[in-house]
A and B are shown apart, each in its own frame.
Chain A
Amino acid sequence: MSGTAAGPRERAAADRPRPKLRPERLRELSLVAVIGVSVLVFSQLVDNYLSGSFFNRVTTSMAITAVLAAAQTIVILTRNIDLSVGSIVGVTAYLTGEYLAAHQSTAPLLAVGLAMLLGCALGLVNGTLVAYGRVPSIIVTLGTLAIYRTWLIDHANSRTITADSLPQWLVEFPQRTVLSLGGLDIRLVLAVTVVVIVALQLALGRLRWGRWVYAVGSNPDAARQEGLPTELVTLGAFAACGALSGLAGFMFLSRFGTITVAAGQGLELASVAAAVVGGVSILGGSGTLIGALLGALLIDLLELSLVRVPEISVFWRDAVLGALILLAIAGDFAIGKRLRRFWTSPPRRRSPGTPEREATTDA
C-alpha cells in the first residue's frame, strides 16, 4: 500500500552485515570445545587413552543415550518431560527380543519398525493423558514409568531374554562397521544415530510442525490464543519420543543381548541430563537435538574415561562424574558468554544501537 521510504530502508537493512553464527548457535560450539578439552585432559592422565577401541566403546555407548536424549528433547521443547523413556526402552527391548527369539527369520528393518511402533504406542498413551487429560506431564510419566515397568515384570514372569536365543544378525549388529577411517571404525549404530538426529533436527527446523513444537513450548498461552493445534503438537511430541525410545530399546537389545526386566532403568535421568547439558532449556522452547547429541557424548565420554583413571575409586566415580558434569556446564557457560561477547562486539562498534534494540530512526 503506502510504499513510503520502504526502498532505502530495505536496502539499509540488507546492507547490515549478517553473521552466519548467531549467539544461540554458539551453544553447540562451546560444547564441542568442552568435549575437546576433556579428551585432552584425559589423554594426559591415562596411558593409551586415544585408541580406536576406546572410540568404539564411547560411540556405541553414546548411541543409546543420544537417541534417548533426542527423544527427551522433543518433549522438553514443548515444556513437558517424559520420565517413562527408561521403562519404554525396557518394554520394547524385551518384547522385541521375545518376538525375534520366536521368529528368527524376521527382517531387520521389520524388527526395528516393530520396536518403534510399540514405543510410539506407549508414547501416545503419555501424550493423550498430558494433552487431552490436562494432567501435568511429570505426574503422567512418573505414573507410566511404574506402570510400564510393572507390566513388564508381570509379563516376563522372571524369564530373561538371552543372547543365544536371538538371531545372529542382531547379536552382530553392534559390530557392524560402515566405514573405516585409519584406525577408527564408524559403527553402524553411530551412523544410524547421527543420521536420525540430523534428520529430526532438519524436521524441527524446516517443517511447520517443528516450529509449532518450539512455539508451544516457548509461550503456550500465545500458541493457544493464536489457534495453533497445541494439543496435537504435544501428542505428536510424546509419540515421537516414544518411537525414538523404541529405537533405543532395539539398540539396547542388540548391544546387550541379555534383557532382564530391569533393562533401561535409570535411562530417563540420563536422557534428561544429556538434554540439559546439551543446552536444551528445561522451560521449553529452546534447544537443539544436535546439542542433546553432544550432551550425550560428553556424559558418556566422562563416564567411560573415569573408569580408566585408576586413582578414582569405584565408590567415588558417580560423585566425580556429577562434579565433572557441573564443571563442564560451568565451563560451557563461560565459553559461551565469551563467544557471545565476541560475536556482538563488532556490530556494536559499527552502529550505536545493538542489533536487538532496534526500531530506531537511523539511516
Chain B
Amino acid sequence: MSGLADRVPVLEMAGISKRFDATQALRDVSLTLHPGEVHALVGENGAGKSTLIKIMTGIHPADEGTISVKGEQVTLRSSADAQRHGIAAIYQEPTIYPDLNVAENIFMSHRDQGVMVRWGRMYREAEAILARLDVHLDVRSLASGLSVAAQQAVEIAKAISLDVRVLIMDEPTAALSAHEVTQLFRQVRHLTASGVAVLFISHRLDEVFEIADRVTVLRDGRRISSRLRGEVTPQRAIQEMVGREMSEFFARTEHPRGGLAIRVSGIGRTGAFADVSFEVHQGEVLGLAGLVGAGRTDVALALFGIAPAESGSVELGGRPVVIRSPREALDHGIAYLSEDRRQLGLSLPQSLTANITLATLDRYVTRLRLVDSSAERAVADRFRRRLSIRTPSLEAPVERLSGGNQQKTMLAKWLNAEPTVLILDEPTRGIDVGAKAEVHHIIDELACSGMAIILISSDLPEVLAMSDRILVMREGRQVGMFGRSEATEEGIVTAAMGAA
C-alpha cells in the first residue's frame, strides 16, 4: 500500500457544515479517502460521525462544502445518487431481505439484468464473489437464518457486486464476536486490495488501530486531526476526542447522603451483561458511563423488570426483592425513564394529562372504577408548574411539544409514581441547551429531596457534572468505579474503550 499520496483521492469532502435546528452538527469538516486505504473515523457519541456518513450517502444534504468523487465535484441528493458514484454503506444492523436467499440479496439492486432471472448464473456469480471474500456461505440458503456476521458478509459481497469504490462501515463490529471480527477484517483487506476505500467507524480503539491506515478524530462537529496510523497513539486519540470545556454544565449543589436505597449484587443476563454490582444511597446520583451498547440500558431494563436479570440479587432498603415485571418494579418504588421517548416513553397522540397519569392510573379511579378526570388534571397541572412544562393546554397531544418538554412530561410521569429509585436513561438526549439545564436542575432537586438516582448518559461532561460516583461499563462488564473527585473524562473514556 505504498504511494497512497500520489493517487487521486476517490472521495474528497471539503469544508462540510451541517446544522439541525439549534445544533451545529458539523462545522467545516474535510475528509479525504484514497483508493485502497482503510480510513478510521473516531469520536464520542454526538461528535458528528453519523451526520457525516449521512451526507456522504446522500441522506442529508450538506449546508456548506463540496464533495468530489475522483476529482470531480458531485451533488448527492439521494442514496441512489451516492450508489451511482460508487459510495455504499453497511450499518451495524445489516439491511437484508430475510425471506430471500443469499444470492438474491447480493444481486437485488442490480439494474442491468434482463427481465428474466437467470438463477444458475446468479448462483455462480454469487459464489465467485463470496469466494473472493474468502467467505463460506450456501448462496441458496435464506438470509433469515444467517448470523449477523454472515449478513454483513452478504452486504460486503453486495457492495463488491456493485463495483463500490467507497464503502462506509458504521460500527460493523458492534454485534460480532472476536473471531467474527477477525473474519470481517480479512474481508476488509480483500476489499482494499482491490482498490476500494473503506471508511471504518468504530468505538473500539484497539480495532481501529489494528485495521486503519489513517485515523481522523471528530469532536463537537469539528475535525480535530487526521493522521496516518503510525503518527498517532490511542492515548493521543482519546485526548483529542474528549478535550472540551465544561462551562456549559450545571454545577451541582452539595446534598447529604442518606441511607442505602438500592444494592445490586452480581446481576447478569446472558448475552447482555454480567456480574454488575453497585449500591446507591438516598440523595445520591450514580452515573453509568460507557459506550453505546456497553450494556448500561440492559442493566436498567433488568432493574425495571422489562428484561429481568437471570443471576445476582437486588436489595431495596435492606430487603431482598425479585423484580420480574415493570409492575413489580413500580410496586417496589423503582421507576425508569426510557432513552427512547418517542417509542417507549410517551404515548405521543395522547394528552399531557393522560401521559402523566398513565403509569399510576389506579390512583385516579372512583368507586365505580371510572377514571376521575378532574383529579387527573389537578395532578398534571401541578407537574406542569413544578417542572415548567410549556404546553398550549393540558389536553394538547404531547407530540406537539418540543423535545425538552416531552422529556419533562416523561419525567413527570415517573415522578408521579413517587419512586425511591429513579433510573434516568439519556434524559437530555436530543434536547436543546436550555431544556438540558432545566433537566439537570430537576435531577439536582430530586437528589436533594432524598431520591436515589441512577443516571445513564453518553454525554460525559453531563455524567461528570451530575454524579457522585460513576460506574463505567464496557461490553457488558463493569470495568471501573470512580468517585466524584477522581473522575476525569480521559479516565472514563479509557476505561470505556478498553484502551490501556
A142 to chain B, nearest CB (A): 22
B120 to chain A, nearest CB (A): 12
- What range describes how many residues of A lie at the interface? 35 or more
Contact of A16 among B80, B138, B183 (CB under 8 A): B138
A180 part of interface (Cβ distance < 8 Å): no
B488 part of interface (Cβ distance < 8 Å): no
Q: How far is the CA of A219 from the CA of B135 in the complex (A)?
A: 24
With both beta carbons as reference points, the residue of chain B lying nearest to A222 in the complex is identified as B95
Known: A215-B100, A359-B149. A5 touches B134 (CB 8 A): yes
Would A228 and B109 count as touching, CB distance under 8 A? Answer: yes
Count residues of chain B with CB under 8 A from any CB of chain A.
44
Would B99 and A208 count as touching, CB distance under 8 A? Answer: no
Q: How far is the CA of A214 from the CA of B190 in the complex (A)?
A: 31
Residue numbers in A under 8 Å from B100 (CB-CB): 211, 214-215, 218, 285
Within A11-45, the residues touching B (CB, 8 Å) are 12-14, 16, 18, 22, 24
Q: How far is the CA of A285 from the CA of B105 in the complex (A)?
A: 13
With both beta carbons as reference points, the residue of chain B lying nearest to A77 in the complex is identified as B99
Would A358 and B115 count as touching, CB distance under 8 A? Answer: no
Known: A225-B95, A356-B141. A6 touches B108 (CB 8 A): no
Would B153 and A359 count as touching, CB distance under 8 A? Answer: yes
B97 part of interface (Cβ distance < 8 Å): yes
Would B97 and A222 count as touching, CB distance under 8 A? Answer: yes
Q: How far is the CA of A222 from the CA of B95 in the complex (A)?
A: 6
Stretch at the interface among B13-21, B125-133, B209-217, B387-395: B125-133
What string of 1s and 0s marks CB contacts (under 8 Å) between A346-357 and chain B?
000000000111
Would A2 and B135 count as touching, CB distance under 8 A? Answer: no
Q: How far is the CA of A218 from the CA of B98 in the complex (A)?
A: 6
Would B115 and A207 count as touching, CB distance under 8 A? Answer: yes
Would A207 and B142 count as touching, CB distance under 8 A? Answer: no
B234 part of interface (Cβ distance < 8 Å): no
Within B71-106, the residues touching A (CB, 8 Å) are 79-80, 83, 95-100, 104
What string of 1s and 0s marks CB contacts (under 8 Å) between A195-238 and chain B?
00000000001111111001101110111011110000000000
B317 part of interface (Cβ distance < 8 Å): no
A319 to chain B, nearest CB (A): 34
Q: How far is the CA of A356 from the CA of B114 in the complex (A)?
A: 30
Would A219 and B96 count as touching, CB distance under 8 A? Answer: yes
B175 to chain A, nearest CB (A): 13
Would B132 and A1 count as touching, CB distance under 8 A? Answer: yes
A21 to chain B, nearest CB (A): 11
Q: How far is the CA of A198 from the CA of B79 in the complex (A)?
A: 37
A10 part of interface (Cβ distance < 8 Å): yes
Known: A10-B128, A285-B98, A357-B147. A225 touches B136 (CB 8 A): no
Contact of A355 among B79, B95, B119, B138 (CB under 8 A): B138
Q: How far is the CA of A317 from the CA of B115 in the complex (A)?
A: 48
Contact of A9 among B104, B134, B138 (CB under 8 A): B134
A28 to chain B, nearest CB (A): 16
A3 part of interface (Cβ distance < 8 Å): yes
Would A359 and B150 count as touching, CB distance under 8 A? Answer: yes
A51 part of interface (Cβ distance < 8 Å): no
Contact of B108 among A206, A211, A356 (CB under 8 A): A211
Residue numbers in A under 8 Å from B83 (CB-CB): 227
With both beta carbons as reference points, the residue of chain A lying nearest to B84 in the complex is identified as A227
Contact of A10 among B98, B127, B142 (CB under 8 A): B127
Residue numbers in A under 8 Å from B132 (CB-CB): 1-3, 6
Contact of A227 among B80, B114, B116, B131 (CB under 8 A): B80
Would B108 and A207 count as touching, CB distance under 8 A? Answer: no
Would B95 and A218 count as touching, CB distance under 8 A? Answer: no
**Per DSSP, are chain B's interface residues mostly helix, strand or loop, or mixed?**
loop
Residue numbers in A under 8 Å from B134 (CB-CB): 4-5, 9
A168 part of interface (Cβ distance < 8 Å): no
Would A2 and B194 count as touching, CB distance under 8 A? Answer: yes
Known: A24-B142, A222-B96, A362-B136. A2 touches B193 (CB 8 A): yes
Residue numbers in A under 8 Å from B79 (CB-CB): 225, 227
Would A226 and B109 count as touching, CB distance under 8 A? Answer: yes
Would A355 and B99 count as touching, CB distance under 8 A? Answer: no
With both beta carbons as reference points, the residue of chain B lying nearest to A286 in the complex is identified as B99
A175 part of interface (Cβ distance < 8 Å): no
Would B113 and A359 count as touching, CB distance under 8 A? Answer: no
A95 to chain B, nearest CB (A): 33
Contact of A2 among B114, B136, B183, B190 (CB under 8 A): B190
A48 part of interface (Cβ distance < 8 Å): no
Q: How far is the CA of A13 from the CA of B128 in the complex (A)?
A: 10
Would A285 and B97 count as touching, CB distance under 8 A? Answer: yes
A157 part of interface (Cβ distance < 8 Å): no
With both beta carbons as reference points, the residue of chain B lying nearest to A219 in the complex is identified as B97
Q: How far is the CA of A206 from the CA of B116 in the complex (A)?
A: 6
A110 part of interface (Cβ distance < 8 Å): no
Would B147 and A214 count as touching, CB distance under 8 A? Answer: no
Listed A/B pairs (11) with beta-carbon separation below 8 Å = A1-B193, A9-B134, A12-B136, A208-B117, A218-B98, A226-B108, A227-B79, A227-B80, A285-B99, A356-B145, A357-B150
The 8 closest A-B pairs by CB, nearest first: A356-B145, A285-B99, A1-B194, A226-B109, A218-B99, A218-B97, A286-B99, A222-B95
Given contacts A219-B98, A361-B183, 19 further A-B contacts (CB under 8 A): A4-B134, A6-B131, A6-B132, A9-B131, A9-B134, A9-B136, A10-B128, A12-B136, A13-B136, A206-B116, A207-B116, A208-B113, A210-B117, A211-B104, A211-B108, A226-B108, A227-B83, A355-B141, A358-B146
Residues of B bordering A, CB below 8 Å: 79-80, 83, 95-100, 104, 108-109, 111, 113-117, 119, 127-128, 130-132, 134-138, 140-142, 145-147, 149-150, 153, 180, 183, 190, 193-195
Residues of A bordering B, CB below 8 Å: 1-6, 9-10, 12-14, 16, 18, 22, 24, 205-211, 214-215, 217-219, 221-223, 225-228, 281, 285-286, 355-363
